[in-house]
Amino acid sequence: MSKRSAFFLSLFLFTLVDVFLVHDTAWLLRHGTGVRFYINLIFSLLFLGSWLWFARATVFSVRTPLSVRRAGWVLVIVLTCIPALVQLGHFKVYNDVIRPNGFDFAVKNTMETASYFVDLSSFPRMSLAALGWALALWTFARSVPDTLQPRRLKNTFTTSLSFVMVALLIPFGAYNWYSVSLYQNSVYAFYGTLLETVSIRFGAYTIDKPHVPASTVPADDLPNILWVVGESAVKSRMQIYDYNRPTTPRLLEHYEKGDLLRFTNMLAVGNKTMLSLPYMLFGLEGPDPKGRIYRRPSIFNYAKARGMQTGFVSAQDIRWYRFDKLIVDKSLDVVRSGPEYSANVTVRNGADDLKVVNEGLVPFIKDAKKPFLLMYQMNGNHYPYGEHSPKEFKKFLPEPHPNSRNAYDNSMLYTDTALDLLIDAVRREKPNTWIFFVSDHGQALALDDDDTRFHSGYADDVILVPFFVMPPPGTPAKTLRTLRANENGPASQADIFATIMDIIGMEPIRQIDGLSIRAPLPEDRIRFCSEFMPTFSNNPNAAYMDAKKGMVRLDFTRMQVYDRDDNLLSHINELDERVLKILEQRL
């Protein structure tokens, strides 16, 4: 075999491993059509080929000292195989290549990332990929000249050209609108995303909230508001939503007494915490690629302008992906986060909910001197579920592993306990309080205990989340009738913002997307859940709920529309005029 043939064979082997082991055949069947896929594949081959050719002509040249050539093999493995291995693990979990938020997470939570990788990696698949890479590297080694070659202008030109190609293709992969990392070789996608991460980290969006003028109306007669955001709570695994196991007996008791209103059609505005939680606080939905959220007041800004006391208490670490920079300003009187209650807080497990309720929330409620808006972000039911309930509270046994059905149900039972404690404290200390509970997103829980998935995609269990309201005693009968009429209506997480604004008598100074649930919700309403938002990944896809069509998924990369079963429906430009008008405003 000639040296040139060996080089191209190694490039082919790297691509083969990438397509069928780093990605998979399902990915190829779904995306392997259309000009854009092939263009990105060609650019991927150009990148990988240019990089290997440059290494072959410089690091592995016979003119290069032997010690440098030996180090060169380490360099090729680190810069080529390690990124592909990272992508393999990420694709196994998310069915997607790594995004900028993934790098940010890994840098801040190195041990957590390693733990996820170990927990969820497929050893047989990784072993096959390693064998494939070894064969590709062996073939590449066969392509390296083993005799001294005369210096020629052509060789110098091709070496220089390969370097220029690498330098130009990485920013193309990061910034060009035609570039789609999901369609690319995993190594090329890795470096394009890495460059994009750096640019996001050191620039991109500037927070520029407008000032909210102070209200001249006295706040003394306002009710208090407690807004609880659950973590990964799945509606279909809650007894209060007719699950066949007693996972929420205390909430069910409140529901049966009639002081808790259970909403059944609440759509999350995002399928991950750092999409849904920030946007709830600003009353917005996506898509929002240009970052409207950074130019809007938060609900705390409005509450403070209304003369209320404000607080944000989280069982989690709120510094993740600069969330604290977005919400913490002079409008918040009290800000406390998970590390203040536990030295063991990680991204996947915050402080104990009962401890935070007792030490953070109850004292705030007792000591409040005027009407307050208090938000609590729970530790809740995040993966791994077994870590979210103490042994003495575990009722569903055994837990064969931390992500079993019993483990999740025990975490839900513990959430029920913490919520009941908080509800009792509020009704005892400050009965004139509206209580809202909504989960940030759900989880793609499988029927098979061994088939755990993260909360990606737009499955019902991920985006249709539990939501309940507990109006204060003495709420007018007309308001209660409207709330009950909306229990099965088309609600959005953005509506909680609008409802609080309605309760405290404030008008938004910038447009919001939510509607107050104290007024009838339109049955033909269009609601969006999106990943195309800059607080996390700006991943160009979204879904919307239509009363007639159900869930419709939008792929802004391909500009195509799919139904919930991934059947192609149309081009985005062929959507209903109402949907196109919303997209025009937000995009």
pLDDT, tens digit (0-9, with 9 covering 90-100), for 394-415: 999 999 988 899 999 999 999 9
In this predicted structure, the answer to whether residue 428 has a pLDDT above a threshold of 80 is yes
Spatial distance between the Cα atoms of 558 and 320, rounded to a whole number of angstroms: 31
What residues does 491 pair with on adjacent strands?
266
Tell me the DSSP string of 188-238.
HHHHHHHHHHHHHHTSS----PPPPPPP-S--TTPPEEEEEEESS--GGG-
* Distances 325 to 125, 207, 412 between C-alpha atoms, Å: 40, 8, 30
- Percent pLDDT > 90 in the chain is 58
In this predicted structure, the answer to whether residue 472 has a pLDDT above a threshold of 60 is yes
Q: Which residue do the tokens 């790297």 mark?
A: 14
Give the residue-averaged pLDDT of 218-231: 97
In this predicted structure, the answer to whether residue 377 has a pLDDT above a threshold of 90 is yes
Residues 6+ apart with CB under 8 A from 241: 235, 262, 264, 466
In this predicted structure, the answer to whether residue 17 has a pLDDT above a threshold of 80 is yes
Whether the CB-CB separation of 343 and 350 falls below 8 Å is answered with no
Give the β-pairing of 224-230 and 433-439. parallel
What residues does 560 pair with on adjacent strands?
555, 571
Whether the CB-CB separation of 377 and 335 falls below 8 Å is answered with no
Give the residue-averaged pLDDT of 56-82: 81
Query: Helices in 352-404 by DSSP H: which ranges?
Result: 353-356, 362-367
Q: Predicted confidence band at 25 (pLDDT cuts at 50, 70, 90)? A: confident
Q: Which residue do the tokens 């005027």 mark?
A: 370
Q: Predicted confidence band at 196 (pLDDT cuts at 50, 70, 90)? A: confident
In this predicted structure, the answer to whether residue 204 has a pLDDT above a threshold of 70 is no
Give the residue-averaged pLDDT of 519-529: 97
In this predicted structure, the answer to whether residue 182 has a pLDDT above a threshold of 80 is no
CATH fold of the domain at 224-586 = Alkaline Phosphatase, subunit A (3.40.720)
Highest mean pLDDT among 33-42, 117-126, 371-380, 553-562: 371-380
Question: What does the pLDDT look like over 349-368, one tens digit per residue?
Answer: 899 999 999 999 999 999 99
Give the residue-averaged pLDDT of 421-446: 95
Question: Which pLDDT score is estimated for 345?
Answer: 80
pTM for the structure as a whole: 0.77
Question: Which pLDDT score is estimated for 202?
Answer: 61
Give the residue-averaged pLDDT of 405-428: 97
Query: CA 197, 200, 201, 202 torsion: positive or negative?
Result: positive
Whether the CB-CB separation of 55 and 72 falls below 8 Å is answered with yes
* CATH 3.40.720.10 boundaries in the chain: 224-586
In this predicted structure, the answer to whether residue 101 has a pLDDT above a threshold of 60 is no
Q: Predicted confidence band at 282 (pLDDT cuts at 50, 70, 90)? A: very high
Q: Which residue do the tokens 């609900």 mark?
A: 299
Spatial distance between the Cα atoms of 44 and 38, rounded to a whole number of angstroms: 10
Question: What does the pLDDT look like over 317-349, one tens digit per residue?
Answer: 887 767 888 999 999 999 999 988 887 887 778
Task: Report helix, strand and coil shares of the chain as percent, to nearest 5.
Answer: 50, 10, 40
Spatial distance between the Cα atoms of 314 and 298, rounded to a whole number of angstroms: 17
What does pLDDT average to over the chain?
88
The values of phi and psi at residue 373, to 5°, are: -115, 115
